[in-house]
Chains A and B, each alone.
Chain A
């Protein structure tokens, strides 16, 4: 049992922390206020290798491990949760499935530019009628010679308005229900692809979210990931990794809420003493700090298992479930410790509160995580 970081992991932690504090944190409030996509930060992160951390160097990535990815995600999200999710979707949901299931040609064409951060990816799974029930896909892909013709609508797609590439899920054989789902890599500039309206969100406002409409889009058959019917397996496998990213994002938000509250509690004086001298405040701080450490250990365990190619579905779900709920609790307590100042935009506490909420919802709600965990435990 070794809890120390490797040299490489320590280095990326230091690099990411320094970048996050110097470049990202000073912009976070303004990005949120203006709901502005942080193009310049994404470019800088590309230079640091953060857009394809666990992708091998030959495919444009940084060639590091998934623990490094988790570490960097936490640091970036500690400064700005929106920037964190943009990074997470590109790494986990766009690069990872192509790396695992794509042909050499597809990897060269699509993975290399995304992993190196020259292009941005998104993940088209959710539909208006297919949220937690991801198997009930309505978007269709009909074979036509060397092409498939795609029709349908995806919604709540993170990065969609800025994305160059989409990992797209479609139904190719409805009679087989979720075993009839097929995945494609799609260029967002292709004819027949249109963006729906930009969602206005409670939090992570600097990340861009929209629906995507596909109308008779002709997708070359060579852009298929795996075989027909592999789609559901690809989605689940991809989300196992994605959840490590979101758990890390949640950790970053939790840490932001905690660290801001801790420093406020040392400065703020009431009844003649700093409020951190009161047990009422100390209890909240001690509980948050303990839960953050627990969440981080669960998250790093899942990442470590992924690095060793061990089955990690249950462990990723535990990490995502626990870390996201810790982020929400930490954010609630962070606002409470700030009192009235926690409710106004001059302090970041209210932003952490708004940002934390989504981590309990996307890439599988807390309820879906519990379903995955329970079915793993109750098997047999």
Chain B
């Protein structure tokens, strides 16, 4: 039992916190206002080795490990949540290529991702396949040495800015015969649809993708035929630690803003921080966020040790995103009318965090994963 971060993890924390506070946070409101993809932030992440944290230097990564990654993502998201989710998906894509790809695929894509030459994207969700990821209809038909893809994907983060997209498609009749493919951007038959207009995370790039007679060589397959679902599910286990960390980062920023505001704001002749009604909200949010952080670190440290962590990642994601949403709601309430206007950051935090209980597995899917593990 040791609740301290290691020296290396503390260094990552300090470095990324500085970056997020000095560079990302000051731009976050404008990025949100303009729904602008923060390319300059992506470049800075690349320069500091934060886009390939989960694979080794041989492939351009920094192999900082899951705990450092959780810390870094929390800090980035605390400054700019849109930048955070882009970073999360790029890291997840790179990790999947490292874990399931061959050396040729690793050499080709991983340096590209870690150097920030493009983002990574992970295309699983379809119009008819959300929580039910087994209900895919995108099909990859074998044709000699090639596969021909037809179908469409929706809600794909980083889709328009990706240099490589992992696409999940059926390769057989059974709904479980899913294979994963690595697609370069701009190849014939692969097009990017319109950018979604969202409630929050407005700087993140979310698009639909479509495949029409899109021909790829069989060497583009990630893993073996039929490995797709396994790749998707194991990537999501890790992704959930990322989303938990993102939620904790956003909510900590909201709580920090609410705490500062409560100390300054005077009503009834005293600072509102002196009222128990306000103190209660701050105490509950801080307690829940500490608990969320411990759950996320536990899942990350299990992953680091190489032992199963699926249930623990779902617990972390469920708890952190729900608690994070409650904390952001409370923060808006503490600021009152000022919490509702764009001059203060908390209304953005509330909009940004809302999706965290939805993407990479809704809270309902997390409960399903947890209860299956319990009732087994």
B5: chain A residues at CB < 8 Å are: 1
Segment at the B interface, from A147-155, A355-363, A372-380: A372-380
Q: Do B375 and A2 touch across chains, with their CB atoms under 8 A apart?
A: no
Q: Do B1 and A9 touch across chains, with their CB atoms under 8 A apart?
A: yes
Q: Do B371 and A370 touch across chains, with their CB atoms under 8 A apart?
A: no
Contact flag A290-B262 (CB < 8 Å), given A1-B297, A377-B286, A378-B273: no
B residues with CB within 8 A of A: 1-6, 9, 67, 259, 262-263, 273, 276, 279-280, 282-284, 286-288, 290-292, 294-295, 297-298, 300-302, 312, 315, 318-319, 364, 366-368, 370-371, 374-375
CB closest chain-A residue, reference B368: A282
Q: Do B287 and A318 touch across chains, with their CB atoms under 8 A apart?
A: yes
A190: chain B residues at CB < 8 Å are: none
Q: Do A301 and B3 touch across chains, with their CB atoms under 8 A apart?
A: yes
Min C-beta distance of A88 to chain B, whole Å: 20
Q: Do B1 and A289 touch across chains, with their CB atoms under 8 A apart?
A: no
B283: chain A residues at CB < 8 Å are: 321, 369-371, 373-374, 377
15 further A-B pairs in the complex, CB-CB below 8 A; given A1-B4, A2-B1, A4-B1: A1-B3, A2-B2, A3-B298, A276-B371, A282-B371, A287-B367, A293-B312, A294-B291, A297-B291, A298-B291, A301-B3, A315-B290, A318-B286, A322-B287, A370-B280
A9: chain B residues at CB < 8 Å are: 1
A94: chain B residues at CB < 8 Å are: none
Q: Do A289 and B294 touch across chains, with their CB atoms under 8 A apart?
A: no
CB of A67 closer than 8 Å to a CB of B: yes
CB closest chain-B residue, reference A295: B291
Main secondary structure of the interface of B (DSSP, over half): helix
CB of A344 closer than 8 Å to a CB of B: no
Bound form: Cα–Cα A1–B70 in Å = 12
A315: chain B residues at CB < 8 Å are: 290
- Binary flags per residue of A268-305, CB closer than 8 Å to B gives 1, else 0: 00000000100100110111011101110110110011
CB of A175 closer than 8 Å to a CB of B: no
CB closest chain-A residue, reference B271: A378
Contact flag A282-B367 (CB < 8 Å), given A290-B318, A374-B279, A377-B259: yes
Q: Do A294 and B366 touch across chains, with their CB atoms under 8 A apart?
A: no
The residue that A378 contacts in the complex, of B263, B291, B302, B315, with Cβ under 8 A, is B263
Q: Do B298 and A297 touch across chains, with their CB atoms under 8 A apart?
A: yes
Bound form: Cα–Cα A291–B294 in Å = 12
| Interface footprint category on A | 35 or more
Contact flag A285-B371 (CB < 8 Å), given A301-B294, A378-B262: yes
Min C-beta distance of B190 to chain A, whole Å: 38
The residue that B279 contacts in the complex, of A289, A290, A305, A370, with Cβ under 8 A, is A370
A293: chain B residues at CB < 8 Å are: 295, 298, 312, 315
Contact flag A286-B374 (CB < 8 Å), given A294-B295, A322-B287: yes
Contact flag A67-B282 (CB < 8 Å), given A282-B368, A285-B374, A294-B291: no
Q: Do B2 and A304 touch across chains, with their CB atoms under 8 A apart?
A: yes
A318: chain B residues at CB < 8 Å are: 286-287, 290-291
Q: Do A3 and B301 touch across chains, with their CB atoms under 8 A apart?
A: yes
The residue that B292 contacts in the complex, of A67, A294, A373, with Cβ under 8 A, is A294
B280: chain A residues at CB < 8 Å are: 370, 374
Bound form: Cα–Cα A290–B371 in Å = 10
Contact flag A1-B287 (CB < 8 Å), given A290-B318, A293-B315, A297-B294: no
Q: Do B287 and A300 touch across chains, with their CB atoms under 8 A apart?
A: no
The residue that B319 contacts in the complex, of A283, A294, A369, with Cβ under 8 A, is A294
CB closest chain-A residue, reference B70: A1
A2, A282, A286, A291 interface centre (most CB from chain B within 10 Å): A286
Bound form: Cα–Cα A45–B6 in Å = 38
Min C-beta distance of B266 to chain A, whole Å: 14
Q: Do B375 and A282 touch across chains, with their CB atoms under 8 A apart?
A: yes
Bound form: Cα–Cα A282–B366 in Å = 11
16 A-B Cβ contacts within 8 A?
A3-B297, A4-B1, A5-B1, A67-B1, A266-B375, A289-B374, A294-B319, A298-B291, A301-B294, A304-B2, A315-B290, A367-B276, A370-B284, A371-B283, A373-B282, A377-B282
Bound form: Cα–Cα A143–B67 in Å = 58
B1: chain A residues at CB < 8 Å are: 2-6, 9, 67, 300, 304
Bound form: Cα–Cα A266–B376 in Å = 10
B297: chain A residues at CB < 8 Å are: 1, 3
7 nearest A-B residue pairs (beta carbon): A374-B279, A282-B371, A297-B294, A294-B291, A286-B367, A373-B283, A286-B370
Min C-beta distance of B245 to chain A, whole Å: 13
B315: chain A residues at CB < 8 Å are: 289-290, 293-294
Bound form: Cα–Cα A19–B91 in Å = 47
A287: chain B residues at CB < 8 Å are: 367
Bound form: Cα–Cα A297–B297 in Å = 10
Q: Do B259 and A378 touch across chains, with their CB atoms under 8 A apart?
A: yes
Min C-beta distance of B211 to chain A, whole Å: 34
A290: chain B residues at CB < 8 Å are: 295, 315, 318-319, 370
Bound form: Cα–Cα A287–B298 in Å = 17
CB of A111 closer than 8 Å to a CB of B: no
A2: chain B residues at CB < 8 Å are: 1-2, 301
CB of A262 closer than 8 Å to a CB of B: yes
Bound form: Cα–Cα A67–B300 in Å = 22
Contact flag A1-B367 (CB < 8 Å), given A286-B374, A370-B279, A373-B287: no
- Chain A 308-357 residues near chain B, CB threshold 8 A: 315, 318, 321-322
Bound form: Cα–Cα A369–B295 in Å = 22
A276: chain B residues at CB < 8 Å are: 371, 375
Contact flag A262-B279 (CB < 8 Å), given A289-B315, A297-B291: no
Min C-beta distance of B265 to chain A, whole Å: 12
Min C-beta distance of A39 to chain B, whole Å: 34
B273: chain A residues at CB < 8 Å are: 374, 378
CB closest chain-B residue, reference A369: B283
